[in-house]
Each structure stands twice: as C-alpha cells, then as structure tokens.
C-alpha cells in the first residue's frame, strides 16, 4: 500500500489548477514596475523613485477577522478580498503613503480552485482600487487544521511617501478641525459581537430581511470595507493634512489618540454624522451600551482627518467632488490626549 499526499488531504493538482485560474486576476493589477509573474520564489518590483527626494517605505499587515464567518455562512467569497486589501492599504495611506504592492496569504482546509479564484478575484479588485500591484502570495492547503470548507486570510501592503510629505500628527494643535469620512457599514471590525447579536441572541440568519436594511442581513454584513486611498491622495495634492486616523478596532475612542500630540484631545459631536442602520440594529438588538458601541465599531466614520480651520470648507468641497460623504465632526482642544464624545 502506498499513501499519497492527496489521500492525506492535500491535492497538488487542485493547487496547480488554482494558480492557473488566478493568473488573469493577479496580472490585471500589474504595471511596468512588476518584473515577475506568478511562480517565482520572490516577486520583483522596481519602483520609480525619480519624483522622491527622500523616499520612505511604509508597510502594513492585517487580516479580515471573523467577518470570514459570514462569508462561510453565505458561501460567498468574491468580496472578502476587498476587505483584506482595504485593512492594510488604509493603514498606510494615513501616513501619506501611496500603495505600491500587496501580498496575500490564503490558508484553506480543502482547496477548491473555483473558490480560491473568487477569493483572489476580490483581492485583485481591491488592489486595483488602491492602485497597488498584487505581486505575490501564498496559498496553503492545510487539511484538518481548519474546519471543513473554511479558510483564513492575511495581507501585506507596502507603500511609499517622500519624507517631507509624511503625515505624523506632530503639527496638530488646539483649534484644528476633525473631518470624518463616511464608512461603508461595519467594515471589518466588531464581527464577533455583531454575529453574536444577530445569529445567537436575535436568531436571525443571513437571509433574514429587516425593514431597516435595504438588503438581506448577510449581504449587509458582507459589504466590503471602503478603500480610502484615492480620496486621501487627492486631498494631499491640495491641502495640508495634519493627521489621519483609520477607524478600525477600538473605534474613534482608541484610534484618534494615536495621532494626537501630547497636550491635545479631540472633542467630537456625535450628532454631526449619521450612524448606519446596521449599527443601530446591533445596539438595539443586543441592548449594548453606547460607549461600548463606540469602542467596538466605527459608528459610521471610516477615516478621521485633522486639518486647520482655514482649510475645512475647501476639504469638504473636494470630498463632495470626489463623491465621498464627509462631515465636520469635531475639533482639537488642549487637554489630556484622548477623545471626548460626551456620553453623559
């Protein structure tokens, strides 16, 4: 008797078929800087540094979290890759970095080429939205490690910014204003709580239709994370962005202080922007305290941008031109580093 790798749970031929299926999606993200295709041990990327005086590389990595569980429930895998890209490129663009390239890691219980293609198709679409090349990745079939038909994703983004254009938050001062760029739903944080509320406490399923939502619950929960690269880079061309916070896990409460200098705090007006219906549903169905909501979810704001008072009107007008919903949500004052949301 001779035992094969396939009989042990790893299908080498399925892996080869998956790579063939992925090629067209991956190569659709390539520009002239990409010097290699799929199949090399390492990916080669030749950036054009001609316009940079002191180029700085900015790198970020992230995953999708338990939002994947919703994709598994729906057996829908063509958008989760957008989330993967968004979580990393949004992190590096807040420092002014233009994304250059992206790599992904897909670990899966049993490799089904068509499913892998759907996942990577979403990743490639996210890369195109971010202006990044998908230059490589890893696809690991790990039979018996994950639950059947489940997988995990991780992503890695590298961008570039000239040292003089680096956005650090160091120049933020009392009197500056905070502009919020609208989120596209929950994005990719807080899904452990969201799933508990909807699928355990309320007893809903992904097909449940609720009058507060324009589409079935599962579709609403799978809305891809908004990629903010284009509007942020456009704003940088015309304005002095003093600081930018990507509102992810920890919400506004934990993320804005990461960019504030000592001696400053942000005072936000919670009535100045709309909270998405899906988040209002989570709070009402789960009877969740308001402060807990704000420290778990983005509450409708995906990016917080700090600018001088003189530029507020023009920045808001530019965002409207770019068709990005945005709001003047607060200001910077003197005080201990933190965020005041007036929960009392």
Q: Summarize pLDDT for 94-152 with one digit per residue, the tens.
A: 999 999 999 999 999 888 888 989 999 999 999 999 999 999 888 888 888 888 889 99
Q: Tens digit of pLDDT for each residue in 188-247?
A: 999 999 999 999 999 999 999 999 999 999 999 999 999 999 999 999 999 999 999 999
Beta bridge mates, 59? 158
Q: What is the pTM of this model?
A: 0.93
What mean pLDDT, rounded, does the chain reach?
A: 92
- Residues 185 and 180: their CA atoms lie apart, in Å, by 14
If residue 106 lies in a helix (H) or strand (E), which one and from where to where?
strand 98-108
148: three-class secondary structure by DSSP: coil
- Residues 86 and 102: their CA atoms lie apart, in Å, by 11
- Pair type for strands 133-141 and 98-108: parallel
* pLDDT of 15: 61
Per-residue pLDDT, averaged over 30-46, amounts to 80
CB 307 within 8 A of CB 239: yes
User: What is the strand order of the sheet 243-246 is part of?
Assistant: 243-246, 301-307, 177-182, 326-334, 264-268, 339-340
Q: How confident is the model at residue 302 (pLDDT cuts 50, 70, 90)?
A: very high
Q: Does the domain spanning 177-340 belong to CATH 3.40.50.880?
A: no
Every domain range in the chain assigned CATH 3.30.1330.10: 5-165
- Residues 326 and 180: their CA atoms lie apart, in Å, by 5
Whether residue 18 has pLDDT greater than 80: no
Q: Tens digit of pLDDT for each residue in 310-332?
A: 999 999 999 999 999 999 999 99
Q: How confident is the model at residue 3 (pLDDT cuts 50, 70, 90)?
A: low
Q: For the chain, how big is the Rg over CA atoms in Å?
A: 21
Question: For the residues of 27-50, what is the DSSP string, one character each?
Answer: HTT--TTB---TTSSS--B----T
Which residue has better confidence, 26 or 119?
A: 119
Per-residue pLDDT, averaged over 11-21, amounts to 66
CATH code for residues 5-165: 3.30.1330.10
Every domain range in the chain assigned CATH 3.90.650.10: 177-340
């Amino acid at each position: 008797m001779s035992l094969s790798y396939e009989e042990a749970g790893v299908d080498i031929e399925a892996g080869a078929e998956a790579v063939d299926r992925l090629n067209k999606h991956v190569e659709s993200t390539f520009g002239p800087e990409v010097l290699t295709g799929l199949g090399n041990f390492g990916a080669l990327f030749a950036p054009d540094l001609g316009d940079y005086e002191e180029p700085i590389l900015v790198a970020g990595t992230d995953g999708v979290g338990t939002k994947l569980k919703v994709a598994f429930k729906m057996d829908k895998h063509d958008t989760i890759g957008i989330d993967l890209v968004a979580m990393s490129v949004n992190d590096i663009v807040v420092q002014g970095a233009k994304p250059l390239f992206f790599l992904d890691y897909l670990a899966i219980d049993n490799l089904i080429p068509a499913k892998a293609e759907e996942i990577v198709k979403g990743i490639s679409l996210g890369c195109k939205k971010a202006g990044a090349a998908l230059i490589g990745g890893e696809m690991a079939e790990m039979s018996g490690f994950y639950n059947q038909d489940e997988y995990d994703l991780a992503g890695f983004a590298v961008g570039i910014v000239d040292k003089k254009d680096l956005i650090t938050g160091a120049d933020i001062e009392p009197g500056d204003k905070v502009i919020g760029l609208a989120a596209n739903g929950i994005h990719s944080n807080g899904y452990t709580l969201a799933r508990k509320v909807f699928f355990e406490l309320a007893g809903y399923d992904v097909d449940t239709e609720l009058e507060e939502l324009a589409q079935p619950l599962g579709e609403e929960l799978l809305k891809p994370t908004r990629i903010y690269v284009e509007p942020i880079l456009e704003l940088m061309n015309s304005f002095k962005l003093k600081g930018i916070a990507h509102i992810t896990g920890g919400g506004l409460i934990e993320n804005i202080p990461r960019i504030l200098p000592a001696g400053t705090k942000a005072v936000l007006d919670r009535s100045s922007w709309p909270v998405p219906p899906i988040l209002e549903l989570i709070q009402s169905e789960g009877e969740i305290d308001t402060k807990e909501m704000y420290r778990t979810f983005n509450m409708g704001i995906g990016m917080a941008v700090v600018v001088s008072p003189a530029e507020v009107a023009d920045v808001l007008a530019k965002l409207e031109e770019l068709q990005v919903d945005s709001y003047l949500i607060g200001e910077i004052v003197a005080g201990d580093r933190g965020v005041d949301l007036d929960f009392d």
